[in-house]
Amino acid sequence: MSKQNQWVVGLNAVASSIEHDAEHVREVLVEAGGKNARVTEIEENARRKGIDVRRVSTQALDGVAGGVRHQGVAARYAAAKTWDENELAGLVEAAEGKALLLVLDGVQDPHNLGACLRSAAAAGATAVVIPKDKSATVNATVRKTSAGAADRLPVVAVTNLSRCLRDLQKLGVWIYGLAGEADTSLYAQDLRGNVALVLGGEADGLRRLTREHCDGLVKIPMPGDIESLNVSVAAGVTLFEAVRQRQ
């Protein structure tokens, strides 16, 4: 895992980073004169865990938040965990035949990526795989939208998504892509073993090469008169169908 400094902002994201990954939180900034009870709770928890807390102006918080709504609190984080591609095989093997991977083929909106990570963490996914290019990265917006999931869930950025899918197949992972024109319903597909669920980006869906590396394409049945779902909603529906089958 590589590490770099970055700022985490917002009540949920900061509270989660202190709770789940305190050793990598370097300091917490809170708005001077703020009256929010959650901020006070975060401040007390940080001090209990030996993390430096500084009271700063709203302008200082605006500066580190970079346009993201900070709700009066930010944390300087030295982790920003990014998992290396070569760690993916170990994660799959450790899942002992029950790996559940979410693969996002070019999701570019940080809010969508954050929401996908949140759903993946809630579903107990093994990891989320994203391409290094033409994809949102795990930045402050993603961390905030993910409500702490970005701290708890391996997010693996890969150089070549098609090659990664091939490597996963060699590890015994079945790859299913979500496509509106597919003949098979998601609900008819067996999702109980090692499975990777692949969703395309907001504009174009799955890229051609990505499709060609899937073992099968499935669709979410939509009786209503709408062509497609938001990618984060589709990710939630798909992941939790796998969860339902596995229980």
Query: Residues at the annotated binding site for S-adenosyl-L-methionine?
Result: 200, 220, 229
- What phi and psi, each to the nearest 5 degrees, are found at residue 25? -90, 115
Three-state DSSP state, 129: strand
CB atoms within 10 A of CB 224: 4
Helices (H), 58-130: 58-65, 88-94, 110-122
Query: Residue written as tokens 């892509």?
Result: 177
4's tokens: 């770099």
- What phi and psi, each to the nearest 5 degrees, are found at residue 28? -120, 135
Binding residues: 200, 220, 229
End-to-end CA distance of the chain: 32
